[in-house]
Amino acid sequence: MRVTITRSREMPDPVLLARYRRAPELGPRILFFSGGSALRRLCGRLIEYTHNSIHLITPFDSGGSSAALRDAFGIIAVGDIRNRIMALADLSVTGNPAVYRLFSSRLPADADEEELLRQLDDMIKGKDLLVREIPHPLRKIIRNHLRFFWEAMPEGLDLRGASLGNLVLVGGMLNNRQHPDPVIFLFSKLVEARGVVRPVVNRDLTLFAEEEGGALLIGQHNFARSGEGEAAPIKRICLSRNREWLDPVDVEIRNKVRSLILQAELICYPMGSFYSSLLACLLPRGVGRAVMDNDCPKVYIPNTGRDPEQRGMTVGDSVRALLSFLKRDLGNHQPDRAFLDFVILDRRPDSYSMPLDPDELRGMGLEVLVGDLVTEESRPHLDEGRLLEMLLSLT
């Protein structure tokens, strides 16, 4: 039997926060749709209150070393997944500091190919200090994954500055017929990650954007084009099978991802790159329906400062775009409150580079929660501690 209980709550709620801090292993299941590094510092504080957060990550990163690994092996991007797992890692004495150090390290960016291959070979053989410090049997697992990477690595792959954590993840995926879930689970256990991290889909796809005027941007890394005089506002985004030309594909979330969304006690659409991080996570079919089917509170946190992907937009435009993505498979007849309840804002309008009208948001049926969230130390970003207090108080 399910019942709906409505009650008022102080914001922030000091009693609830103290309870979560005392027993984070019993903390709430807050779900974040995101990718990239915008939540890294927040996650470091989040694990003080809950070990049960859920993070659905975009696997479409097309820049830097992630692009090189995707091109070499035809896999999803692993960099943002690794970043989020590391942000949730237990850095206390109960964690695995030696594993964390290895996964946070990179191969030298200025070494030649011969030196890079020699260092990677030393790691596989257990001779490198970073690997030697890791206790058994964890060391054997990591060496085994690196060996799978080594054996499958195409000739000429540029390893300069490559993340060792990424190489371990890729090696594990190659050892599991490119299935990421078992490897992500193991990687999370190795660093004692206090939360669940999953890609929103397991498909190797490319993110495209179409600007007003018709220009196509190929790959997530091109969405934040510099020079606002040249870049038009983004009109739509879609996923493509091909990395070089638009070949649209309709992909659906797996049942396990739907289950994670349905388990959430709070759904958060957080700050970060608006199209390539947040809305890209909502593209797969089934996300909006799962969100609608979960009657937990849902909250949007607009970007403070400037997000180059939101050129020409107001905060109200951002809310409308968010709702349109969530409703895209369901029709506009669905009520907005099935997908979004709250918008969290800093008290000072000048914290936002986009035009902001709180009354417009209230007129859309949303509850606007206002607080002193941008501090002198955090500016132009939200203070992660103050933001977390508001989020946790909604659970």
For 247, half-sphere exposure in the C-beta direction (CA atoms, 13 angstrom radius) is 7
- Cβ–Cβ contacts within 10 Å for residue 382, how many? 29
24: pLDDT strictly greater than 70:
yes
Please state, in angstroms and rounded to a whole number, the distance separating the CA atoms of residues 36 and 346: 22
> What pLDDT digit, counting tens, does each position of 114-160 carry?
999 999 999 999 999 999 999 999 999 999 999 999 999 998 899 99
Give alpha helix (H) positions in 12-153: 14-22, 40-46, 64-73, 79-87, 97-104, 113-124, 129-132, 138-152
332: pLDDT strictly greater than 80:
no
Residue percentage of the chain with pLDDT more than 90: 81
Please state, in angstroms and rounded to a whole number, the distance separating the CA atoms of residues 62 and 49: 33
| Residues constituting the chain | 395
Task: Please report which confidence band the pLDDT of residue 226 belongs to, taking 50, 70 and 90 as the band edges.
Answer: low
Least confident of 64-78, 139-153, 224-238, 254-268: 224-238
How far the first Cα of the chain sits from its last, in Å, is 20
**97-106 mean pLDDT:** 94
Please state, in angstroms and rounded to a whole number, the distance separating the CA atoms of residues 92 and 79: 24
Which among 309, 388, 346, 273 is positioned nearest to 41, based on CA atoms?
388
pTM above threshold 0.75? yes
Q: Which two tokens stand for residue 291?
A: 């969100």
pLDDT at 231: 73
> What pLDDT digit, counting tens, does each position of 30-67 carry?
999 987 788 999 999 999 999 999 999 999 988 777 78
- Which residues, 6 or more positions from 332, have their beta carbon under 8 angstroms from its beta carbon? 324
Please state, in angstroms and rounded to a whole number, the distance separating the CA atoms of residues 94 and 113: 37
pLDDT at 228: 47
> What pLDDT digit, counting tens, does each position of 285-328 carry?
999 999 999 999 999 999 998 999 999 999 999 999 999 999 99
Contact 6, 244 (CB under 8 A): no
Please state, in angstroms and rounded to a whole number, the distance separating the CA atoms of residues 184 and 296: 27
pLDDT at 32: 98
Considering the chain, tell me which residue range(s) the CATH 3.40.50.10680 domain(s) occupy: 14-58+202-393
Count helices and strands (H / E) in the chain: 16, 10
Fold of 14-58+202-393: Rossmann fold (3.40.50)
pLDDT at 230: 61
pLDDT at 227: 47
